[in-house]
Structure 1
Amino acid sequence: MNDKKILILGIGNVLWADEGFGVRCVETLNQRYRFGDNVKLMDGGTQGIYLVQHVQDVDVLVVFDAIDYGLEPGTLKKIYDDEVPKFMGAKQMSLHQTGFQEVLAMAEFTGSYPEHLLLIGCQPVELEDFGGSLREPVKAQIDPSIEIALDYLKQFGIIPEINDQPVEGLAPGELELREYESGRPSEQDAFRKGDLRFMAETETEQGDS
C-alpha cells in the first residue's frame, strides 16, 4: 500500500493570525520528518483553484486548516472523505476555503479525486489581526494535529524518519513561524485592524454627514 501517492497540504493565510494554522502544521511537519518519494508536503497558502492539479494527482489527501465549527477555540476536529467538502463550506472564514471547495469539486468532476481524504481542522481564536501570529490555544494544537496525521498515514504504510538536518522551507524564510514572530511589531507600533489612512478618511466623511 505504500506506493500510493500522498499529498499533505496546509492551507490558510499566515498574515491573519489563526488563519495560518494549516500552513504552520505542514511547515512543522516538514522540519521534523523525512518522507518517501510518494509523499509530498505543500504549503497551499491561499492558492485556491491553482491547487487542483496537485489534488487530482494523488490517492490520499491530508489537509490542515483553521475551520470555524462553532466550537470552543482551539478545538480539533477530524473530518473524513465525503464529509470534507461539507465542512469546508459550513461557515466560510475567508476566500481560501471557497477556493478549496472548488478544487475538490473540480477534481471530482474530472474523475481524478483522492480515494482517501482527511481534514484536520482547528477552531480559531482570532482572525482579525493582520500581521498577527497564532494564538496560544491554536498553536498548542500543532503537535496533536501532526500526531493525528501520522497515525492516519500508518494505514498506508507511511512511517517517516525523524529529520535531524536543516531542510529547505516550504515558503520564504521570513514567513517561517519563529522568524515571523520574532520580527512582529508591538501593538503600539502596528495597527492590524485595517488601513489607518482609510479609516481616518471614513471617520471624517461620517463626521461631515
Structure 2
Amino acid sequence: MKLLLLGIGNVLFADEGIGVHFLHYMEENYRFSHPLHSLTLLDGGTLAQGLTPIISQFDEMLLVDTVNAAGANPGQVYFFDFDKAPAEIDWQGSAHEVEMLQTLTMMEMLGDRPKTWVLGVTPTRLEPMRLGLSPELLSVVPLMEEVVLKHLRSLGFEVERRQHRPIEELIPSAWQGQIPIHENS
C-alpha cells in the first residue's frame, strides 16, 4: 500500500496554514517505516486540482487541513473517513478548501481517488498576511499528532520519535511577525 500524508493550506492566512505547518512538524519530528507499505509526506499548499496526478498514485491518503463545521468551537479537531463526513462539516471555508472538495469529488467520479481520511481542525483566525498559528490551534497540535500516530500504527507503521521540536520553531520567524526592524540613526 502507498499512503500519502498531505498537508494543505495557505500559510499567509494564519490558522489556514495548519495543514502545511503540521505536515512539516511531523516530518521534522518523526521517522516512519513499514516492511511492506510506503508513506509519503507532502506539502500541498493550495494546489488542490494541481495535486490530482500525485494523489492518484496512492492507495490511501490522510489529508490535514482546516474544516468548517456548524456549531464547532475554534480549535475543534475532527478525524473522519471522507466518504462518511460528519453532518456538521460544510466544506464552505476558504477557496482552497472548496477547491480541494471539488478535486476529491472529481477524482471519485473518475475512479482515481484513494481511500481518504481527513484530519481537520476548525480555524480561529484567518487574517490576510498573518503568518503563524493562533494559541487555540497551537494547543490542539498534540491531539492532532496523537490521531495521526494512532492511525499510522493501526496500519502497521513503526513510529520513531527523532526529536521534540515544537511546531512554533518550524514556522520561520518572519512568518511569526518577528522581523527585526532597523531604524536609521
Fold conserved between structures, TM > 0.5 = yes
Q: What is the aligned partner in structure 1 of residue 124 from structure 2?
A: 125
Q: What is the aligned partner in structure 2 of residue 75 from structure 1?
A: 76
Q: What is the aligned partner in structure 1 of residue 14 from structure 2?
A: 17
Distance 2:138 2:118 in 1: 17
RMSD (CA atoms): 2.6
Distance 1:147 1:120 in 2: 11
Contact 2:3 2:38 in 1 (8 A): yes
- The residue type equivalent to 2:25 in the other structure is T
Distance 1:82 1:110 in 2: 15
Deviations 1:126-173 (A, max 9, x none): 102423321001111122102101101222111222225x9xxxxxxx
Q: What is the aligned partner in structure 1 of residue 183 from structure 2?
A: none
Contact 2:3 2:59 in 1 (8 A): yes
Name whichever structure is richer in helix by fraction. Answer: 1
- Pair 98,74 (structure 1): closer, same or farther in 2 beyond 3 Å: same
Q: Secondary structure at the match of 1:61?
A: strand
Distance 1:156 1:47 in 2: 27
- Pair 78,48 (structure 1): closer, same or farther in 2 beyond 3 Å: same
Deviations 1:98-125 (A, max 9, x none): 221122123212222213x211111111
Deviates more, 1:90-99 or 1:148-157: 90-99
Q: Is residue 2:10 matched to residue 1:26?
A: no
Distance 1:84 1:10 in 2: 18
Q: Which runs of 5+ in 2 are unaligned?
A: 181-185
Q: What is the aligned partner in structure 2 of residue 7 from structure 1?
A: 4
Distance 2:133 2:68 in 1: 15
Contact 1:6 1:38 in 2 (8 A): yes
Identity across the alignment (%): 29
Structure exhibiting the larger radius of gyration computed from Cα positions: 1
Q: Which runs of 5+ in 1 are unaligned?
A: 167-175, 187-209
Normalising by structure 1, report the TM-score.
0.73
Q: Secondary structure at the match of 1:127?
A: coil
Contact 2:91 2:101 in 1 (8 A): no
- Pair 11,182 (structure 1): closer, same or farther in 2 beyond 3 Å: closer
Q: Secondary structure at the match of 2:44?
A: strand
Normalising by structure 2, report the TM-score.
0.82
Distance 1:183 1:128 in 2: 13
- Pair 98,63 (structure 1): closer, same or farther in 2 beyond 3 Å: same
Q: What is the aligned partner in structure 2 of residue 177 from structure 1?
A: 171
Moved >6 Å (runs of 4+): 85-88
